[in-house]
Amino acid sequence: MLTQLPFIAFLSFFLGASIASFLYAWTLRLKTKKESILDRSRCRFCNKKLSAIELIPIFSWVFQLGQCSCKKYNLAKEYVIAELFLGTIFALIPFYFQGLSIIFIFFLVAALFFFFLTDFHYQLLHMPAMIGTFFLGLLFHAMIDHDIALSLWGAGLGFGILFLIDFLYRFFRKKQGLGGGDKYLMAAIGAWIGPIKILATLFFASWIATLWAFYLIYKKRADLMTKIPLGVFISIATPIAYFLL
């Protein structure tokens, strides 16, 4: 098995980069609602439909020297950065997990990456994706450790805490305090990591969000009333809580 790990890691890297490319394209199409994820990919600058050679993760960006095929526009670096990042994370997963768990963790990491992108770009959390993530979390525990109760407790606690916080904020301040999708995201993640780790996730996410808010205020890019996309920080905090506890 150890001799096969480098090859498995290589395949995992390419899989992660491909999924990142797909999820980034999906994220960009969510806001406009004029394109389906099934539509043919095209250049955002010249509107030209992309060929197969222009759709290979990382390679296409390097091969085209970071330029649109018409040579008039520079392609956004975020694409290749996203592909390199998720590809690297996927490549590391086989070193820490085994068997069927690897496939499940691929799904969880891809989901967190997608939630990060949508909330970062548009302060939007995709409900169908969160529902799918929730049920995959139940399936993960049913097949791997046969403890669905742990999954349900994690989902209920994740949802309940943010629901209560939002309810109290609305009651005392008479306005919405949290994004509408944050509690559903916590429920979906709680189904994967259980009640203890979902509490740690919320703790880490709150602190990371607070530090980020202070940084923005220091740079005069925000004030105390600026909305912070909590889903971004929940997505970052989840792997921290998962591996530290």
How far separated are the first and last CA of the chain, in Å rounded?
27
pLDDT of residue 43: 64
pLDDT of residue 65: 63
Give the burial class of 109: count Cβ atoms within 10 A of its Cβ; 0-12 exposed, 13-18 middle, 19 or more buried: buried
Query: What pTM was computed for the model?
Result: 0.89
pLDDT of residue 130: 97
Backbone angles phi, psi at 98, to 5 degrees: -135, 155
Packing angle, helices 100-122 and 182-218, rounded to 10: 50
Pure H helices in 93-181: 100-122, 127-144, 148-173
Interval 132-165: pLDDT, tens: 999 999 999 999 988 899 999 999 999 999 999 8
199 closest CA partner among 234, 236, 166, 149:
234
pLDDT of residue 239: 95
- Residues in the chain with pLDDT values less than 70: 1-3, 32-48, 50-55, 61, 64-76, 177, 222-226
The two structure tokens encoding residue 119: 């909330």
Residue corresponding to tokens 């929730």:
134
DSSP state of 9: H
Instruction: Report the alpha-carbon distance of residue 151 to residue 137 in Å, rounded.
Output: 7
58 closest CA partner among 23, 22, 14:
14
What's the one-letter identity of residue 208? I
